[in-house]
Structure 1
Amino acid sequence: MLWLLIVVAYLLGSVSGSLCLGKLRGVDIRTLGSGNAGGTNALRTQGLVFALGVVLIDVGKGLLAAWLARHFLPGNDMAAMACVFAAVVGHIWPVWHGFRGGKGAATLVGGLILVWPQSLILLFSVWFLNLLLTGYVGLSTVLAAISLLVSAAWSGADAQVWWFAIASSVLLTFSHRSNLQRLRSGTENRFEKARLLGRLLSGRRG
């Protein structure tokens, strides 16, 4: 049953919100903007309403993957985390879309709502703070994923939670490798409107 649920979770994860909604609009956002099939590129290229639809689908499939594991294997936290991870893998490498998907953050958040809700407090705090300071969405997401390790240490998590935290942070760091490469080269796109704290601190120093 576990392996069947993992396969189903992967297939769920392969349903890309941006690509499905893009077909209704007659666009493939992988050919636009950064080329990524995720919420940030959807916002930049298609607008807020489209991006919200993408995020709802991508969060929802992570949540559904976790719910299915909890429903069919109640009390098995390892199974739930494995299914969430499989859904994230499906989002990044979707079988329905030529294995070219998004970067997995929204799907991971959807799964965390059920399997590890306490971690979301630090995760969102790190994400928002870094975004307000730097304006870099990709960097904020990588640091937020790494915050799962801090949450695991803080809560005295058991081995299976540690493995999930390590695997998830490594996977999201890998999926954002192009963002990190552009950061090093100084060509990464910055969400300047979100960099409120960064501009405030720069103004004070000036």
Structure 2
Amino acid sequence: MPMFFAAACVLLVAYLLGSLSGSLLLGRLRGVDIRRHGSGNAGGTNAFRTQGWRFALGVVIVDIGKGALAAWLALRIAPTWAYAAAALAVVGHVWPLWHGFRGGKGAATAVGALLVLWPSALLPLLSVWVLVLVITGYVGLSTVLAAASLPAWAAWEGADPARLAFALGIALFLAFTHRANLQRLRRGTESRFDRVRLFHRRRAGA
């Protein structure tokens, strides 16, 4: 198979895999479209808030899995294009062909791709996410700041240009997909998970 054709097929498949939205596929099984509930976003956070943790867990597994699968296929068929395929899987999640181009925000799919392509980034990424979440209670802010840590981690590791470009691209893209969260944060209207704010609870109980 000519390399150009193989790469084109891998990139197309990556986008189509990304377009398989976990929340919308599982929502059909229970007769609900979560884009009509809560924040209107077809992602794991809105799934958790509107449908409960079991449904949200299924959503996250599907969304992480498709990112991992897209990256895995790319590594085996067109490894030079692996990070581009991962990026297209994330794009497919945000603008899914199968669901009217209205999807989620891409974080879980990006994590799935990192699991295959760059597993050493997961610990610092998740550490930043958890730390910001337990301090602030804001999931969107936690995701944006965790993604923003990726370029710094790539530079610290001495990453190659493809990995560094992916890190920068994902950081900027997730900031873009979470722009509404950031705007609500500035206005003071962003939803907060107070139950996870460990430091706040300690001060309140003191």
TM-score by length of 2: 0.95
Three-state SS of the structure 1 residue aligned to 2:146 is helix
TM-score by length of 1: 0.95
Residue of structure 2 aligned with 1:185, choices 181, 184, 187: 187
Q: Is 1:197 aligned to residue 204 of structure 2?
A: no
Q: Is 1:62 aligned to residue 67 of structure 2?
A: yes
User: How far apart are 1:198 and its partner, in Å?
Assistant: 3.3
Q: Deviations over 1:99-156 (max 9, x none)?
A: 0000000000000001011111110000000000000000000001111011111101
Kindly report which structure 2 residues correspond to 1:127-146, keeping only aligned pairs within 5 A, or say none: 127-146=129-148
Q: Distance in 2 between matches of 1:30 and 1:168?
A: 24
- What's 1:103 paired with? 105
Kindly report which structure 2 residues correspond to 1:1-206, keeping only aligned pairs within 5 A, or say none: 1-73=6-78, 76=79, 78-201=80-203
Q: Distance in 2 between matches of 1:201 and 1:81?
A: 43
Three-state SS of the structure 1 residue aligned to 2:17 is helix
Structural RMSD (CA): 1.1
Which consecutive unaligned segments of at least 5 residues does structure 2 have?
A: 1-5
Q: Distance in 1 between matches of 2:154 and 2:112?
A: 18
Output the amino acid matched with 1:105: A
Three-state SS of the structure 2 residue aligned to 1:189 is coil
User: How far apart are 1:87 and its partner, in Å?
Assistant: 0.3
